[in-house]
C-alpha cells in the first residue's frame, strides 16, 4: 500500500484517498485488512481495498442501520443478533436500546475484530465488555442455519459481496428464508444495502427484489456517507407493516438512550421516499440465489 489508497468503484472508476500512515495491515484468513489514518476522514477500516468505516462519519452509517429498526419493529427488541459488525459500532448502537437483554455479534474474522478492539476504540467504546453482549467468531451462514434461537431484530452489517470474498452466500434468497425462520413473531430484518447512486445501484435493486420474495413489507432508504463517496442504502424487511414516521420516532426515543448525531424525526419521516429513478429500479432487480450470485461495485 502506497501513500494513496486506490478504491475501485467499478471496472472503469477508481477513487483515491491520501493517508498519513498505515496503523495496521494484515492478510487474515478471510480478507485483506488495513487500519489507516487518512487526511480527509480520519482513521478508517479498509477491507479488501474498500473503506468500511471512517471515524469522521461512521455514525451516519451506524445510526441509520440500527435505530430505524427499533422504530419499525412490531415488538420491543429484547434479543438482537448482528451478523458481521467487526468494528463494534453496530454493537454500541444496539446496546443503547434499554429493552435489549441479549445481543450476539457473529463475525467470521476474529483477527479483524481483535484489531478493531485495539485500534478502533472510538467506534466500539468498550461495547465488547458489556455483559449483555456476546461475540462469536463463526461463519454467519452456518451459525444461523444450525441455531434454533429466535431474534426480535436481525441486523446484517456485512461487507458487500465481492467475487472470491466470504459474504456472497449471505445475500441470497436461500439465506433470507433461513433468517426469516429465526425471527420472532413481529420481528424485523435490516441490512446494509450497498450504494444508491444513479451510476451503480444494481446490487441494491437485486437485494430488494430478493428480500421481496421472502418478506411482505420492505423499506429501502438511503443517506449520503462522505467516506463512501455515494449515497448508501439500507433495507428493512418484515411481515408487519411499518408505522408512520412520528409513531416510529416516538418508539425510537423511548428505546434508545442518549442523543443522535444524524437521526431525527424529520429524517426518519423521509426514509423510504426515494427518487423516481430509484423507485423504478426497485421494481427491476434480479433475484439473487446461490447459483446466481450478484457481486458488487460501489
Q: Which residues are catalytic?
A: 157
Other residues' Cβ atoms within 10 Å of the Cβ of residue 286: 12
Which residues are CB-contacts of 221 (< 8 A; sequence separation ≥ 6)? 64, 68, 233, 234, 235, 236, 271, 272, 274
Angle, in degrees to the nearest 10, between helices 173-181 and 202-212:
50
Distance CA 200, CA 230 (A): 10
Contact 239, 189 (CB under 8 A): no
Alpha-carbon gap, residue 252 to 148, rounded angstroms: 28
Half-sphere exposure of 250 (CA within 13 A, CB side): 5
Q: Is 112 exposed, middle or buried (0-12, 13-18, 19+ CB in 10 A)?
A: buried
Burial status of residue 291 (CB atoms within 10 A of its CB: 0-12, 13-18, 19 or more): exposed
Q: Which of 162, 7, 91, 196 is nearest to 170 (CA)?
A: 162
Sheet holding 13-27, edge to edge: 4-10, 13-27, 32-38, 42-47, 50-54
Amino acid at each position: 500500500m502506497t501513500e494513496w489508497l486506490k478504491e475501485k468503484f467499478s471496472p472503469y472508476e477508481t477513487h483515491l484517498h491520501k493517508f498519513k500512515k498505515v496503523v495496521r495491515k494484515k492478510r487474515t484468513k478471510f480478507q485483506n485488512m488495513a487500519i489507516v489514518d487518512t487526511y480527509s476522514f480520519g482513521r478508517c477500516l479498509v477491507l479488501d481495498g474498500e473503506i468500511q468505516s471512517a471515524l469522521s462519519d461512521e455514525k451516519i452509517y451506524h445510526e441509520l442501520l440500527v435505530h430505524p429498526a427499533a422504530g419499525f419493529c412490531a415488538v420491543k427488541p429484547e434479543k438482537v443478533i448482528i451478523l458481521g459488525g467487526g468494528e463494534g459500532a453496530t454493537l454500541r448502537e444496539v446496546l443503547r436500546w434499554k429493552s435489549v437483554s441479549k445481543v450476539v455479534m457473529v463475525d467470521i474474522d476474529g483477527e479483524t475484530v481483535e484489531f478493531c478492539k485495539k485500534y478502533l476504540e472510538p467506534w466500539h467504546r468498550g461495547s465488547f465488555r458489556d455483559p449483555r453482549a456476546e461475540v462469536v467468531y463463526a461463519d454467519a451462514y452456518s451459525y444461523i442455519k444450525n441455531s434454533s434461537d429466535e431474534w426480535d431484530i436481525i441486523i446484517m452489517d456485512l461487507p458487500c459481496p465481492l467475487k472470491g470474498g466470504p459474504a456472497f452466500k449471505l445475500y441470497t434468497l436461500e439465506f433470507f428464508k433461513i433468517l426469516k425462520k429465526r425471527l420472532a413473531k413481529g420481528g424485523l430484518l435490516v441490512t446494509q444495502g450497498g450504494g444508491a447512486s444513479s451510476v451503480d445501484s444494481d446490487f441494491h435493486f437485486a437485494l430488494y427484489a430478493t428480500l421481496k420474495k421472502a418478506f411482505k413489507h420492505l423499506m429501502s432508504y438511503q443517506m449520503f456517507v462522505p467516506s463512501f463517496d455515494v449515497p448508501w442504502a439500507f433495507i428493512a424487511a418484515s411481515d408487519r407493516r411499518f408505522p408512520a414516521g412520528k409513531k416510529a420516532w416516538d418508539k425510537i426515543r423511548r428505546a434508545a438512550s442518549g442523543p443522535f448525531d444524524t437521526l431525527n424525526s424529520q429524517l426518519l419521516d423521509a426514509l423510504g421516499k426515494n427518487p423516481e429513478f430509484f423507485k423504478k429500479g426497485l421494481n427491476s432487480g434480479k433475484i439473487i440465489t446461490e447459483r446466481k450470485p450478484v457481486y458488487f461495485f460501489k
